Amino acid sequence: MGIFKKKQEATYTKPSDASVAQAFKHGDQTTKLSFFIFGLGNLMNKQIVRGVVFLLLEIGYLAYMIGFGIHSIGDLITLGTVEQGQTYNEALGIYEYSLGDNSMLCLLYGVITLFLTAAFIFVACMSGKSAYATQFRKERKMPVPTFKDDLRSLKEENLHSLLLALPIIGIIVFTIVPLVFMILIAFTSYDHEHQPPGNLFEWVGLQNFVAMFANGSKLASTFWPVLSWTLIWAVFATFSCYILGLMLALLINRKGTRIKGFWRFMFVLSVAVPQFVTLLSMRTIFNANGPVNVLLRTLGAIGETESIPFFTNPLYAKITIICINIWIGVPFTMLSTTGILQNIPAELYEAARIDGASAPTIFRKITLPYMVFVMTPNLITSFTGNINNFNVIYLLSGGGPDTVDYYYAGKTDLLVTWLYRLTITQKDYNLGAVIGILVFIILAAVSLLTYRHTGSYKDEGAFQ
């Protein structure tokens, strides 16, 4: 079936869906040239605006490459060769610094140039395809779309390009380019001893990864405990909030509950307070001299000068953090699940009731599958979000209590907060980048597996 379908498509290809290879194979002289002189095919066929846009893009790229790009590719390979010099100026009696190469900027500009080149190749393909589409239509005496038609198509069959253009540009510039940059740093020696502009750093291959896993090294003996706590935290934080939040939503939404708005208000109140504020006040509330300890002292539960080490004992700190996270997360889940609960088609319930289903059956057969269907992607994102939950840990315990067994990490540090310490405090950017990549690998493994098995990925239309 699959093969047959493909063949059929090949014979009836719409010109706009032609692949680059097809365009190159079946294209005439002009079309082939359009891969190198952008917009040629369009210009020859009176699609002036389209052609000019293509041409301008090409000229812009070439100007950039000649002026700056080629040089920066060279720098990317060497990461700078001229070290910052220091010479004694006898006339003035001071040390003068001669400007050296900045390895970090070399790397950054190199990455940007690579991305521009990728964009250039993409535009080249677009130009060729566009020229082929025009040629195709001309050969069959079909009308060649004018610029106006192009604009109109943006509202119909090309709506996705219109709506996605800006978000995708934002993502590429502020997420993908920086990420590639940081990934590359994992393979360099950019640590606290190699700080540009004073020092150069260089490519070191997999050395940082080896150091992270070397048996008995301090890094390895930090990494494994921190990793296991990160996973424990993520599982507890995600599921406790989800289950309790769903239960709370059901409790409020059940038929017998009066003054639903009031109850919802009580919980929403804590969501309304910015999380940052909540976390900082929680930190003071559970402080050694904070109100919780004061309360316990007045009640006589602990001695007059004693205090429960909420953040200074490793185990207590972990429990405290998970509990505070429940306090923060449950109302959020309650809010989002309430919306979805009310969105379940009422007909489903009516039909079930007519068939004589009991309340638990209705819950099991309708409410739960529906919730799981809608919420699973959300659950996965919240799991990954919790593995990367910087704010809660950093603002509550700051990763502490600190320990000398670890390499600049505390007992409640997650991989991300450790990453933060390594980069911001310790300036070991390469180690930070290694941790980032490892976090990514863990999350990728966990979530691609689970996500692909969820109903809403496999069968998006199930409830449509």
Partner 1 sequence: MKTKRFIVNCACHVLLAILSIIWVLPIFYVILTSFREEGGSYKSYIWPRGFTLKNYTDLMSGGSDINFPRWFLNTLVIAIFSTVISAFFVLCVSYVMSRLRFKMRKTYLNIALILGMFPGFMSMIAVYYILKGLGFLETGLLKQIALVIVYSAGSGLGFYMAKGFFDTIPKSIDEAAYIDGATKWDTFIHVTIPMSKPIITYTLITSFMGPWVDYIFAKVIMGNDTKYYTIAIGLWTMLEKEYVEYYYTQFYAGCVLISIPISILFLLTQKCYVEGVTGAVKG
**Interaction with partner 1 in 4-23: which residues (CB under 8 A)?**
17
Distances in Å between the Cα of 187 and the Cα atoms of 94, 102, 183, 190, 203 are 37, 17, 8, 9, 6
Nearer to partner 1, 174 or 213 (CB): 174
Phi, psi of 98, deg, nearest 5: -90, 145
- Of positions 29, 228, 361, 381, contacts partner 1 by CB under 8 A: 381
Q: Is 274 in the site for partner 1 (CB under 8 A)?
A: yes
Residue 316 near residue 309 (C-beta atoms within 8 A) = yes
Exactly one of 10, 62, 351, 448 binds partner 1 (CB under 8 A); which one? 448
Residues in contact with partner 1, shown as a per-residue x/- string from 166 to 205 under the rule CB under 8 A: xxx-xx-xxxxxxx-xx-----------------------
Query: Using CB under 8 A, which residues numbered 249 to 268 contact partner 1?
Result: 251-252, 254, 256-258, 263-268
Tokens of 87: 């010479």
In whole angstroms, the minimum distance from the beta carbon of 249 to partner 1 comes to 12
Degrees to nearest 5, angle at CA 359 with 354 and 361: 85
Helices (H) and strands (E) in the chain, counts: 23, 2
Q: How is residue 370 written in tokens?
A: 């529906």
Q: Judged by CB under 8 A, which of 103, 230, 384, 397 binds partner 1?
A: 384
The angle subtended at Cα 122 by Cα 116 and Cα 127, nearest 5°, is 125
Size of the site for partner 1 (CB under 8 A): 103
Question: Considering only residues 303-342, where is the footprint of partner 1 by CB under 8 A?
Answer: 327, 331, 335-336, 338-340, 342
Q: Which is nearer to partner 1, 82 or 294 (CB)?
A: 294
Q: How far is the CB of 463 from partner 1 (least distance, A)?
A: 5
C-alpha count within 13 angstroms, C-beta hemisphere, residue 199? 10
Chain positions 91 to 110 lying near partner 1, rule: CB under 8 A, are 104-105, 108
Amino acid found at 10: A
- In whole angstroms, what separates CA 157 from the centre of its chain? 29
Choice from 280, 302, 351, 368 touching partner 1 (CB under 8 A): 280
User: Is 54 within 8 Å of 147 (Cβ atoms)?
Assistant: no
Residue at 419: amino acid letter: L
Would you say 375 or 409 has its CB closer to partner 1? 375
Nearest-approach distance from CB 412 to partner 1, in angstroms:
17
Range list of H helices, 344-407? 346-354, 359-362, 368-387, 390-396
Identify which range of 26-34, 137-145, 162-170, 222-230 contacts partner 1 by CB under 8 A: 162-170
We find the least distance from the C-beta atom of residue 441 to partner 1, in angstroms, to be: 9
Q: Does 118 bind partner 1 (CB under 8 A)?
A: no
DSSP code at position 194: S
Q: Which residues contact 388 (CB under 8 A, 6 or more apart)?
A: 414, 416, 439, 443
**What minimum distance in Å lies between the beta carbon of 273 and partner 1?**
5
68 touches partner 1 (CB under 8 A): no
Residues numbered 394 to 433 that lie near partner 1 (CB under 8 A) are 415-416, 419-420, 423, 429, 432-433
Reduced to 3 states (helix: H, G, I; strand: E, B; else coil), residue 217 is coil
